[in-house]
Homo-oligomer: A and B are copies of this chain.
């Protein structure tokens, strides 16, 4: 996580201030529960809410001595609250606070990521409808295949991000649990009621069984989902990069007045935002493997995952948020050159209709192999600069099967767009 690729809205969730505030709330709610159980005096629980505060610098100073962040926090808290502080954290262990806090932080960043995807979906839908009938060539292997529309291209990404949205909602559920179960998860020194109470108060589910720590398969799944979403971001960014290349020039990232594309070449307009998204996707994805390795804690827990999470949790979430917002802007302002789309479509002299001709030949009674051969021999001649329609129209063997009227019909573009509405209806529920 570096500021260049961060939004304050996300990065502040990972700040010390945010973290200590959540710790304080967890401890305070736990005290309320303990007071309700009669384990500690009600007055103490009240004192925590009333006088509870923390000073980040002081915590860091204490931590330098005790080498334990939670103990440093509690010591600082006791300094603020006074004698009543002795009931704080009773029966709890550090992980009860740390892991529940992480669950809250991950829930909050998930909420923003879900908003991000929603915003992206809105933009994708708008632009998909805008270009529902903007004809362009479809490409497989980077080679012209058959016509499609730019709206369909965007719809394909829309459907993918819809799935990402569902995955994100699931991932949020995976990590939104609370554990307050003591040193090895047996509730020896703390009643399960406290866990239930704090879960409810903080909007989390109870972790059914913890072993001091919340099991890390939950987090592995969470980061894996972010990795998949990052890959979907990269797919769309790569599409834009391809379509913007000089020879294709079907779309272009918005380029502001004062922007400079190259320090050396004043004529350049580069798809730098989309390229940047490609890189950001790698950064999100690289967190998946360490998150999976983190699952394998020893016995009731070790602390190997801690340093990993301190880095990957902010990195993956802040970077993905930044990427989703950037992608939304890119799509929102994307310049679409529909005239160029048409020019490119015509580039191969009608070759993109080759399949239709072949199918017509098969329908007329030829074997698939013969039909294929007849079409291919004309197709290859197009490479020498001839027009495919003219070639086919002049091919006696083909014309023996297909009349000129029928042939003209085979080269109709509308043939390729007749099911656009069907697909839009499937994905958007409207067309």
Contacts and interface: CB of A to CB of B under 8 A. Distances in A.
A40 to B, nearest CB: 9
Interface in A255-306: 256, 258-272, 275-276, 278-280, 282-283, 285-290, 292-306
A185 interface: yes
Interface stretch (A49-57, A100-108, A109-117, A352-360): A352-360
Contact of A372 (B88, B266, B348): B266
B186 A246 contact: no
A279 B260 contact: no
Q: Which one of A148, A187, A206, A210 has the greatest number of beta carbons of chain B within 10 Å?
A: A148
Interface string A308-324: 10111001000000000
Contacts of A352: 265, 267
A295 B235 contact: yes
B270 A303 contact: yes
A366 B156 contact: no
A348 to B, nearest CB: 7
B242 A146 contact: no
A147 B186 contact: yes
A2 B318 CA distance: 14
Interface in A398-417: 415-417
B358 A89 contact: no
B295 A308 contact: no
For the residues of A in contact with B, the DSSP-based class is helix
B2 A143 contact: no
A31 to B, nearest CB: 13
A342 interface: no
B290 A303 contact: no
B285 A304 contact: no
A170 B224 CA distance: 14
A5 interface: yes
A354 B215 contact: no
Given A170-B170, A271-B142, A279-B303, A422 B292 contact: no
A45 interface: no
Given A186-B416, A289-B286, A300-B139, A221 B167 contact: yes
A85 B107 CA distance: 51
Contacts of A192: 419, 422
A329 interface: no
Contact of A66 (B260, B270, B368): B260
A375 B267 contact: yes
B279 A71 contact: no
A123 interface: no
A211 interface: yes
B71 A295 contact: no
Interface string A166-177: 010010001000
Given A67-B259, A354-B265, A234 B295 contact: yes
A227 B228 contact: no
Contacts of A199: none
A279 B305 contact: yes
Interface in A58-116: 65-68, 70-71, 74-75, 78, 83, 85-94
Contact of A367 (B65, B83, B145, B242): B83
A423 interface: yes
Nearest to A422: B192
A165 to B, nearest CB: 12
A142 B4 contact: no
Given A67-B260, A266-B372, 15 more contacts: A4-B310, A94-B263, A94-B264, A139-B184, A142-B244, A142-B246, A146-B186, A186-B416, A188-B415, A209-B427, A220-B227, A224-B224, A267-B348, A275-B303, A283-B308
Which 8 pairs across A and B sit closest by C-beta, in order of nearness? A138-B184, A267-B379, A141-B270, A279-B307, A142-B245, A231-B295, A224-B224, A139-B299
8 contacts: A68-B262, A140-B183, A148-B184, A155-B209, A231-B295, A278-B304, A279-B308, A282-B293
